[in-house]
A = this chain, B = another copy of it.
Amino acid sequence: MVEPKKSCLLCNNKSECFKQLTDNELVIANSNRAEISYRKGEMIAKQGNFYTHILYLQSGMVKVYKELPDGSNLILSIFGVGSLIGLPFLFKNQILDYSVSALEDTTICSINRTTFEKLIQENGKFATEVVNQLNYCTIYNYDRLVSLTHKQLNGRFADTLLYLSRVVYKANPFILTLSRKDLAEYTGVSVMSIIRAIKDFKNDGVIDINGNKVQILNFNQLERISKTG
């Protein structure tokens, strides 16, 4: 589904690095850009494909995940409005090594890869913001490594809930657009374990879940579970 384009110059929705560009550079970026809409559940980019474009999330929400040989998945990250996807594959990497699919109806700006690379080389402020973005992800990945290897079920799921409320949905209560399977694939446990953890947290009054409406009732206790679990 290709929608009518609006120029980057007029976009009031720019990511940090694009705010650093001159009008001239924005015109160039704009001419190397496509706008695409996806429905919830649709695949946006497939692991193993050639990597040709950076994706900018104009609206909606996506999951970035590794497809593993045994058929299971590991969700690496959940991205909301304003995120750039595919940065780790700039310059040297020809093949995309993860998949991206829509968790909600989503609009993507697809920006030519080489255009993006040229902007890094030619505009220091742009490069700086790209490095910032990459570093944010790296530090987040380090924290995830700790959470996923040194915490057990409840601690990990507490991390997942805090991440969803604070970073992904930026709300409480929030409407969960991830399935139990998604939660399991993000938390790195089985679906059964997620269901059990939800039940436990609900029984203990830490959270409330009705359908897909989730409310964190006790942030302090969730923090405590995150630390001790």
Chain B residues whose CB sits within 8 angstroms of the CB of A120 once the complex forms: 124, 127-128, 131
Report, as a range, how many residues of chain A touch the other chain.
Answer: 35 or more
A45 within 8 A of B: no
Q: A64 → chain B, closest Cβ, in Å?
A: 9
How would you classify the secondary structure of chain A's contact residues: helix, strand, loop or mixed? helix
A35 to B22, CA, bound (A): 40
Q: Which of A4-12, A90-98, A212-220 contacts B (4 or more CB under 8 A)?
A: A90-98
Interface string of A115-145 (1 = CB under 8 A from B): 0010011111101101110111111011011
A2 to B58, CA, bound (A): 52
Cβ–Cβ contact A76 & B121, under 8 A = no
Chain B residues whose CB sits within 8 angstroms of the CB of A149 once the complex forms: 74, 148-149, 188
Q: Which B-chain residue is minimally distant from A66 (CB atoms)?
A: B146
Cβ–Cβ contact A227 & B74, under 8 A = no
A1 within 8 A of B: no
Chain B residues whose CB sits within 8 angstroms of the CB of A70 once the complex forms: 150
Q: Which of B69, B131, B138, B227 interacts with A127 by CB under 8 Å?
A: B131
Considering only residues 145-185 of chain A, those with a C-beta below 8 Å from chain B are 145-146, 148-150
A227 to B128, CA, bound (A): 38
Q: Contacts A66-B142, A91-B131, A121-B127 given; 4 further ones with Cβ under 8 A?
A: A74-B149, A76-B145, A88-B142, A148-B149
A-B complex: 4 closest residue pairs judged by Cβ atoms: A121-B124, A127-B127, A149-B188, A88-B138
A interface residue numbers (CB < 8 A to B): 66, 68-70, 72, 74, 76, 87-93, 97-98, 117, 120-125, 127-128, 130-132, 134-139, 141-142, 144-146, 148-150, 188, 227
Name 7 A/B residue pairs within 8 A (Cβ), A-sorted: A76-B145, A87-B135, A92-B132, A138-B138, A141-B142, A141-B145, A150-B188
